[in-house]
Chains A and B, each alone.
Chain A
Amino acid sequence: MRLHYYTLRRLAPALLLIIVAWGGLFYFLIKRQIEKSVDRNLNNYKLDFIQAIRQDSLLLTQHSFSSHIYHITPITEKEALNVKDIYADDILYQDGKALSARTLGTALALYGRYYRLQVTASTVEERVLIKNVMYSLIVLYGALLLSILFVHHFLLRTVWRPFYALITGMERFRIGHGEAMTDVSTAISEFALLNDAMKELVARAEHAYAQQQQFTGNASHELQTPIAICLNRLELLLEQDDINPATAQVIVSVMESLSRLSRLNKTLLLLTKIENDQFPLSSMVNVNNLVQDILVELKDWMHHKQINIELIRDKGPLIFCMNEALAGIMITNLLTNAVMHNKERGSVYIMLERNKLEIRNTGEEEALDSRLIFTRFYKKSQGRQSSGLGLALVKAIALRYGLSLDYSYRDKLHIITVLFPSG
């Protein structure tokens, strides 16, 4: 989840809770104030009434006095002494309609006699007032919540903009491509700091990478000549007439190891060259024809290994713009890989489609680790002859031309799929 929505999602419920609590509290306070004032009015009315009834005893028989309604009933002294002022909610019936009201029950002494007095006042207006207050509060706090979230949203967007720019820069960054990261200008010092730190990190990584590349390249290159000299000297030694067969066998095995070393070294050099983009020439390569040419070259070897090859290429020609030598290296490595890691009397199926090359082969009946098989020096079988670089080479070439490379294991077949981007 994006930081943006993450904070909003955390903030919104918290804000809602606070605002609801705050609004509720405010509402109840207002409501209590209104109710208190109603009760005060009733009390004032009661006092007014008592004053009035002392002057006009006629009121004892009536039920209404200055817009309030009252009931007065005689009680005993004992009862009167027990009566305390009681306020309660009540319902008034007026023209057949029930209206909310409030009553005050009290007792009073008049001309030596005791009465229970109950005064009732309509609270319709107050109820309406309270209701209005409530609605206003809901609308007000709702609007408040929304505007806070809104402001927050826009603020976040502006504040984090340099951050996202930095992230995009990092995502686009590819080591070894020699592109510097674009500067993100910002007034926020933390982001400016991050920008500088990232720039430095990138520069350091680039530098280390370049050095490593250079080292591999130089080391392989410098190794090439001594290896060649050793091999050639041994070849000359082997040509001497007085050499005995046992010594010759030793020389031959040394030469075999040296040849392997030489091949390994050549492959490393090639990998470095591919990664350094030293194969600039591209042309339209007809992969179908290339596969066939290579199969012709490898035919005797495959035949010797008793591997059955099937080429299925009826789905149109696969033509792609790339360096022809690299295309050849890629296909050869895929094919030799499929043959070398095969089982006895196994098969290799080559499928060619308009933008897909798929090579399936029988072999060990167990899936390989798809994350590892394209890495350097990954060897499942301890085959002495496998350099462990063939598929790494394929991977490097695929990367160079934006081809997607995939491994899967289905129906006891190891499948390597190369997808060529169309167009």
Chain B
Amino acid sequence: MNILLIEDEPELREIVQASLKKEGFLVQCAENFGEGLKKIRFYDYDCILLDIMLPGGDGLHILKHLKNIGKSENVIIISARNSVDDKIEGLNLGADDYLAKPFHMAELNARIKSVLRRKTFEGNRTLECGNVKMDLDNFSISVDGISLVLNRKEFDILVHLMTNRSRLVSKSSIAEKVWGDYMDTADDYEFIYSQVKNLRRKLKAAGAEVKITAMYGMGYKLEV
């Protein structure tokens, strides 16, 4: 999978690149408007991560340009502006998603995979890990072909962990992903624990080959 990252902040570029490489993506970078334009003209990518505040021009023009040259690459806008107007305009111009800075790497990862899934499987979105298989469209999960009953929260947590398998997923990332944006005003994320505990119990009882490990009280990791 080929990903183009158009981002002017060198450190952020480096981190995103490192993080995505772990997931097995091939990441190319462009550090300004001109370079970004050149790269989209000459190469094809599976996904483009686009910062819309770029030196040399508005990132939204890159979106327009993509449309003009007839390319239908998946684009995820990453922006520090986090304004509703930008979001609406970006999505109207054909972007697939909008992610406000700062973001968790797990979240970026989840968004990229979601966008790619949409592209490759055309409506049949599944996640597989060991003997665990999740169907995201029907909200069903099976272990060794035997279906398992999870509540919505448990299901969403597992999806998030499976998307970021073998990586540390922080509790705050889970809280925001599963419980919603309002959760960032909460003073602690201890309440996640009881859901994770139930999820672990159900997975173990079903004989799943995946295991959720707590990481330093910071978050969780899904291990196969």
Do these two chains interact?
yes
- Interface segment among A92-100, A149-157, A332-340: the answer is A332-340
Contact A225 B12 (CB under 8 A): yes
Query: Considering the chains assembled together, what is the distance between the CA atoms of A221 and B187 in angstroms?
Result: 23
**Which chain B residues border A333 with CB–CB below 8 Å?**
185
Contact A228 B195 (CB under 8 A): no
Nearest CB to that of A227 among chain B residues? Answer: B102
Nearest CB to that of A389 among chain B residues? Answer: B185
Decide if B121 is an interface residue (CB 8 Å cutoff): no
Contact A236 B153 (CB under 8 A): no
**Which chain B residues border A239 with CB–CB below 8 Å?**
22, 167-168
A238/B168 contact (C-beta < 8 A), A263-B184, A304-B191 known: yes
Nearest CB to that of B9 among chain A residues? Answer: A225
Proximity string of chain B (48-82) to chain A, C-beta cutoff 8 Å, 1 when within and 0 when not: 00000000000000000000000000000000100
Query: Considering the chains assembled together, what is the distance between the CA atoms of A255 and B185 in angstroms?
Result: 17
Q: Which of B103, B179, B182 contacts A228, CB < 8 Å? A: B103
**Which chain A residues border B180 with CB–CB below 8 Å?**
297
Contact B216 A238 (CB under 8 A): yes
**Which chain A residues border B192 with CB–CB below 8 Å?**
300
Min CB distance B219 to A, Å, is: 9
**Which chain B residues border A251 with CB–CB below 8 Å?**
216
Tally of chain B residues near chain A (CB < 8 A) = 39
Query: Considering the chains assembled together, what is the distance between the CA atoms of A162 and B156 in angstroms?
Result: 67
Contact B102 A236 (CB under 8 A): no
Nearest CB to that of A333 among chain B residues? Answer: B185
Decide if B170 is an interface residue (CB 8 Å cutoff): yes
Decide if A259 is an interface residue (CB 8 Å cutoff): yes
Query: Considering the chains assembled together, what is the distance between the CA atoms of A9 and B158 in angstroms?
Result: 81
Query: Considering the chains assembled together, what is the distance between the CA atoms of A340 and B101 in angstroms?
Result: 27
**Which chain B residues border A388 with CB–CB below 8 Å?**
none
Query: Considering the chains assembled together, what is the distance between the CA atoms of A231 and B103 in angstroms?
Result: 9
Min CB distance B11 to A, Å, is: 5
Q: Which of A238, A303, A328, A390 contacts B218, CB < 8 Å? A: A238
Contact A300 B195 (CB under 8 A): yes
Decide if A137 is an interface residue (CB 8 Å cutoff): no
Nearest CB to that of B217 among chain A residues? Answer: A252
Contact A304 B182 (CB under 8 A): no
Q: Which of B18, B102, B167 contacts A262, CB < 8 Å? A: B102
Contact A236 B18 (CB under 8 A): yes
Decide if A189 is an interface residue (CB 8 Å cutoff): no
Q: For the complex of A and B, list the 10 residue pairs with the smallest distance between their C-beta atoms, beginning with the closest.
A: A228-B102, A304-B191, A385-B187, A248-B216, A336-B185, A252-B218, A332-B182, A297-B180, A300-B191, A232-B15
B interface residue numbers (CB < 8 A to A): 9, 11-12, 15-16, 18-19, 22, 80, 83-84, 101-105, 153, 167-168, 170, 172, 179-180, 182-188, 190-192, 194-195, 215-218
Could you show 23 A-B contacts with beta carbons less than 8 Å apart? A224-B101, A224-B102, A225-B101, A228-B12, A229-B9, A232-B15, A232-B102, A233-B11, A233-B15, A235-B168, A238-B218, A239-B22, A239-B167, A248-B216, A297-B182, A298-B182, A298-B183, A300-B153, A300-B192, A301-B179, A325-B84, A383-B187, A385-B187
